[in-house]
């Protein structure tokens, strides 16, 4: 009886103390020239021409997340990378996701829509 009570107490404590996280409600988020989507086991936030951020995971808690990642930018001789933190906030209806990050002392914020709407005019070649 004591073992069952102890097991119940440990289980309840684990359940109530664990952060309630969930995945994003849809896989792909876009705006006119940016796209957040799963990519080879991580999330890729494709930005302006020749730059992107890789995030190892995204776990939403209370409609928001904060995740460390790596920012990549094409330098003309290859890609350079640096650490970055991306903060995200889902709208109340789950239709938009605002992502914010700091790169080269520049604060950037984008509001992405659920689904694929990527404009072909924004695609470019980095060589």
pLDDT in tens, 28-74: 999 878 899 999 999 999 987 889 999 999 999 999 999 999 999 99
Confidence (pTM): 0.79
pLDDT above 50 for 9: no
- Quick one: tokens of 18? 């664990």
Q: Which residue has the higher pLDDT, 5 or 90?
A: 90
| 51 C-beta neighbours (distance < 10 Å), count | 16
Considering just the CA atoms, what is the radius of gyration of the chain in Å? 19
pLDDT above 50 for 2: yes
Q: Which residue has the higher pLDDT, 8 or 113?
A: 113
Instruction: Give one DSSP letter per residue of 16-63, joined into a string.
Output: HHS---B--SSS-EE-SS-EEEEETTEEEEE-STTEEEEES---BBTT
Q: What is the pLDDT of residue 12?
A: 45
Q: Which helix (H) or strand (E) holds 6?
A: helix 2-17
pLDDT above 90 for 79: yes
Return d(Cα 111, Cα 99) in angstroms, integer: 6
Q: Are 53 and 69 in contact (CB under 8 A)?
A: yes
Return d(Cα 98, Cα 87) in angstroms, integer: 8
């Amino acid at each position: 009886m004591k073992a069952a009570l102890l097991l119940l107490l440990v289980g309840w404590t684990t359940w109530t103390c664990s952060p309630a996280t969930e995945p994003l409600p849809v896989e792909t988020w876009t705006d006119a020239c940016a796209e957040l989507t799963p990519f080879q086991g991580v999330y890729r936030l494709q930005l302006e021409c020749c730059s992107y951020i890789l995030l190892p995971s995204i776990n939403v808690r209370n409609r928001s997340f904060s995740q460390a990642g790596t920012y990549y930018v094409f330098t003309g001789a290859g890609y350079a990378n640096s650490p970055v933190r991306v903060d995200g906030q889902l709208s109340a209806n789950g239709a938009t996701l605002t992502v914010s990050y700091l790169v080269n002392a520049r604060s950037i914020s984008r509001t992405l829509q659920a689904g694929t709407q990527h404009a072909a005019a924004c695609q470019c070649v980095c060589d």
